[in-house]
Amino acid sequence: MKVVFDELFHSVYSSDPASAKGRMESIIAALPTDTEYIAVEPATREQLELAHTTGHINNVKDDGVFDIASLAAGGAIQAARIGLDEPCFGLIRPPGHHASAESAWGFCYFNNMALSLLTLKSEFLIKTAFVLDIDLHYGDGTVNILRSFSWVKTYNPEKNNRAQYIDKVKAILSGINVDLIGISAGFDNHKDDWGGLLSTEDYFLIGRMVKETSIACGAGYFALLEGGYNHKVLGQNVTALINGMTV
């Protein structure tokens, strides 16, 4: 699979867990040796303004993280664009699903998923889209930005039972018919991470269900890294999702 990545994502740009040293390295070490890495181009100001206000963009600049945040946003756009033709994973950080139009929290600055879909929509590359957010935490920023657009739907599974969680994802995917599916791929709901719920095999199943759905409705599909903080299992979980998306 093609993986969108830049060496700058190794940099520790803040003190939060998403920026922790060794986090990206733990993922790369677990990826297949034949992984094709795609270089990243930062999002343009025009692209950022599709989802964010001028004031928010300026605030990110003032916080000193504009360069890395815009690089992540650009990587998300590239992953979505590749996803139109073949599955793709955006190995990017900072994450984005807690970034709203005018504000952000939860280790996020720009909303990578919203920006990727809004960019492709503005370029007339898609008419409809669906976001499956499997992060432990509700993707409020993605919902806040996209809720006013009828052409895109978002879904954040909220179940405390592992089997019910997977069944709910299966059920929601069975009812969609869109041009593009984006996975906000948070891995902090793993049994050995903050959420303590899902197994590594579950991430494979989710990836496979998205693949099957894409085949059924003729959609493209891609995933973007969000949360996931236990470096001992993070790479295995990312690889499991990627394998599900491709096998």
Residue 4 pLDDT = 98
**Chain segment 159-191, per-residue pLDDT in tens:** 999 999 999 999 999 999 999 999 999 999 999
CA 42 to chain centre: 16
Q: Tell me 115's DSSP state.
A: H
Output b/e per residue, 206-225; b: 16+ Cβ within 10 A. bbbbbbebbeeeebbbbbbb
Please spell the DSSP secondary structure of 31-78, one letter per residue: S-TT-EEE---PPPHHHHTTTS-HHHHHHHHHTT-HHHHHHHHHHHHH
CB-based contacts of 94, cutoff 8 Å, min separation 6: 13, 14, 18, 19, 65, 68, 69, 72, 107, 108, 109, 110
Token pair belonging to 167: 């069944």
Q: How many domains does the chain have?
A: 1
Q: Does the pLDDT of residue 157 top 90, yes or no? A: yes
CATH of the domain at 223: 3.40.800.20
Residue 10 pLDDT = 98
Residue 55 pLDDT = 98
Q: Does the pLDDT of residue 247 top 90, yes or no? A: no
**Chain segment 199-233, per-residue pLDDT in tens:** 999 999 999 999 999 999 999 999 999 999 999 99
Alpha-carbon distance 59 to 134, whole Å? 28
pTM passes above 0.75: yes
User: Domain containing 212: what range?
Assistant: 2-246
Residue 133 pLDDT = 98
How confident is residue 95, by pLDDT bands cut at 50, 70 and 90?
very high
